[in-house]
Amino acid sequence: MPRRELTILFPAYNESRRIVSTLESAFEWARGRIDDFEVIVVDDGSSDGMAELVRAKFGDMVRLVRREERGGKGAAIRTGVEHATKPWILFSDADHSIPFTEFEGLWSQAGTAPIVIGSKRAPGGHLEYPPLRRFLGGIGQQLIALCVVSGFHDTQCGFKLYRTDVAKELFRWQRIGGFGFDFEVLMLAKRQGFAVREVPIHCEHKIGGSVRLRTYLTVLGEVARIRWNLLLRRYPKTRS
């Protein structure tokens, strides 16, 4: 296995209530377990003083990248990927709904694929979501498999491990700024022939997250946008 050299990347919007505890947990976990790491927080146009809070609490320990206007989770992740300097990038949500200890399952597959994704819905995974969100998420996943990219139980999990050079290549072609970026980039990965492994994980429901009912409606529109982009050949050709 390669050395554990990791960029831990958090996209965040108005997360001042939770970001400090999440970052403290990240540092506590990474010290002694990761050979070399950096922590990047991308502030996606927050208006709740989150950036100032992170600076005051962590100083130079955290690389804070600010976007002046909110672009969505996909836009924030793309910005973070551009700034990453370590060989691997771990994407993690600011609500810390997935324990960092789940990284071990992802890392166990890093020698076999440049992309390893956590999956709440894969056999062996554990999903603690309210019934309505679980139902809507399942319907959305079926639509994604039918219209964009198939072969995955869960494209939307916020806990993913990318080899940095592959992430930088794929995110150059990313066009979806919202939650749909996840399945867009996985589609690009399959078109370019990059192996992807899916690992079951434990996920808890956190009150106050950014997913709402309208989020699922927005994702429907993002599916349509991706199909339109494919029709107009705005993505690179499939590698043979």
Domains (range + CATH), the chain: 5-231 (3.90.550.10)
| Per-residue model confidence as pLDDT tens digits over 85-140 | 999 999 999 999 999 999 999 999 999 999 999 998 888 887 776 676 666 677 77
- Residue 185 has φ and ψ, to the nearest 5°, of -70, -35
Tokens, residue 225: 């946008």
Measured in residues, the chain has a length of 240
Average model confidence (pLDDT) for the chain?
Answer: 91
Helices 213-231 & 131-147 angle (0-180, nearest 10): 0
Contacts of 154 (CB under 8 A, 6+ apart): 117, 118, 119, 120, 121, 122, 125, 141, 198
User: Which whole number is the average pLDDT over 205-218?
Assistant: 64
Q: Which residue has the higher pLDDT, 202 or 197?
A: 197
Distance from first CA to last CA of the chain, Å, rounded?
28
pTM: 0.90
Give the pLDDT band (50/70/90) at residue 2.
confident
At 188 the pLDDT is 97
Q: What is the pLDDT of residue 207?
A: 58
pLDDT number for residue 121 = 84
Q: What is the pLDDT of residue 140?
A: 78
Distance CA 227, CA 221 (A): 10
Q: 146 versus 139: which is more confidently predicted?
A: 146
What pLDDT does residue 122 have? 84
Q: Report phi then psi at 175, rounded to 5.
A: -120, -15
Span 15-69, pLDDT tens digits: 999 999 999 999 999 998 999 999 999 999 999 999 999 999 999 999 999 999 9
Q: What is the pLDDT of residue 158?
A: 93
